[in-house]
């Protein structure tokens, strides 16, 4: 695979020139993201450098001596499995001498992160805080998927790598301290509140003729994002949620009311008795009349 300039510059700081012929590392990349994985022990001595893009360093294991990382004037001491970000043009490096046994570096182009942040929050100039945070399981899964696709190189792998790259950036923006993180979290909370409003509206109006456009308007979301986020929140599409809600109400009425089955059919928002019976049996495995016989004593 073609190596990015950022990765080569990083390796120049770690390895002697003669070692760059066949060092024990792996490099995988998409058009905007490079992943560098090291395996065998690497003896590191003090050095400082900077990149044009964003770097995220994750040491998984190292010698008993603490790693002291420097970013501008901050000194960072990450534990294994923590992620340390650095920004474009930000001088950073290591202090002291130690051995890294296993590590991961993510290099992401400046414009790629900034454009993504701008589309999500309206803020383009993003600056990550120089501190160590736990490397989340979601990030690890995305890295594993990226590496698997890059290794296999099956038909369409480049398209999949681009998709995973975007997911990586969004996950980093969500979970790494930066000047846009608060706004992203606030926005996601606001979106979830709107989804909950739509759910409450369905609960209150399940027996009415409802349209998707009403729900989209209540949630203030496009149809695509509304359906995707609704399913994430409830595990069902809006239509599936409404049908299950109607049947749950029907079960309650069959058990605790004296309404006829036809009356329950219309009270729950069904327009035809036959359709109501068919849906009820599909979801419960039993007809409405047999359900009433079974649950009424």
Cβ atoms within 10 Å of 233's Cβ, excluding its own: 15
Distance CA 53, CA 155 (A): 29
Low-confidence ranges of the chain (pLDDT < 70): 1-24, 62-68, 72, 98, 182-190, 297
Q: Tell me the per-residue pLDDT of 198-218, one tens digit each, with 9 for 90 and over.
A: 888 998 898 988 888 888 888
Distance CA 56, CA 292 (A): 61
5-179 maps to CATH 2.60.120.10: yes
Task: Give the right CATH number for 240-295 from 3.20.20.120, 1.10.10.60, 3.40.50.720, 2.40.50.140.
Answer: 1.10.10.60
Q: Considering only CA atoms, which of 75, 91, 87 is closest in space to residue 132?
A: 75
Q: Do 81 and 25 form a contact (C-beta atoms < 8 A)?
A: no
pTM to 2 decimals?
A: 0.58
Q: Tell me the per-residue pLDDT of 154-181, one tens digit each, with 9 for 90 and over.
A: 988 899 999 999 989 988 988 888 888 7
Q: What does the pLDDT read at residue 253?
A: 92
Q: What does the pLDDT read at residue 184?
A: 64
Q: What does the pLDDT read at residue 19?
A: 41
Cβ atoms within 10 Å of 36's Cβ, excluding its own: 23
Q: What does the pLDDT read at residue 177?
A: 84
């Amino acid at each position: 695979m073609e190596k990015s300039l950022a990765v080569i510059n990083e390796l120049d700081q770690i390895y002697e020139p003669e070692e760059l012929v066949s060092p024990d590392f792996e490099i995988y990349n998409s058009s905007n993201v490079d992943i560098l994985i090291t395996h065998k022990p690497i003896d590191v001595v003090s050095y400082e450098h900077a990149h044009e893009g964003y770097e995220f360093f994750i040491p998984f294991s190292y010698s008993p001596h603490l790693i002291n990382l420097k970013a501008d004037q901050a000194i960072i001491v990450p534990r294994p499995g923590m992620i340390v970000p650095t920004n474009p043009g930000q001088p950073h490096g290591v202090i002291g001498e130690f051995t890294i046994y296993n590590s991961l570096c993510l290099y992401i182009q400046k414009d790629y992160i900034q454009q993504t942040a701008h589309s999500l929050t309206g803020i383009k100039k993003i600056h990550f805080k120089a501190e160590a945070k736990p490397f989340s399981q979601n990030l690890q899964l995305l890295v594993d998927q990226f590496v698997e696709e890059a290794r296999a190189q099956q038909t369409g792998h480049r398209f999949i790598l681009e998709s995973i790259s975007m997911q990586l950036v969004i996950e980093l923006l969500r979970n790494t301290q930066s000047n846009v993180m608060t706004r992203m979290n606030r926005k996601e909370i606001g979106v979830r509140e709107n989804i909950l409003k739509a759910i409450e509206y369905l609960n209150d109006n399940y027996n009415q003729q409802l349209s998707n456009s009403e729900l989209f308007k209540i949630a203030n979301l496009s149809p695509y994002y509304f359906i995707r986020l609704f399913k994430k929140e409830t595990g069902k599409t809006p239509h599936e949620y409404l049908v299950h809600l109607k049947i749950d109400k029907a079960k309650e009425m069959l058990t605790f009311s004296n309404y006829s089955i036809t009356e329950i059919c219309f009270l729950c928002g069904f327009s035809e008795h036959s359709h109501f019976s068919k849906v009820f049996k599909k979801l419960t495995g039993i007809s409405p009349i047999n359900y009433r016989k079974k649950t009424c004593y």
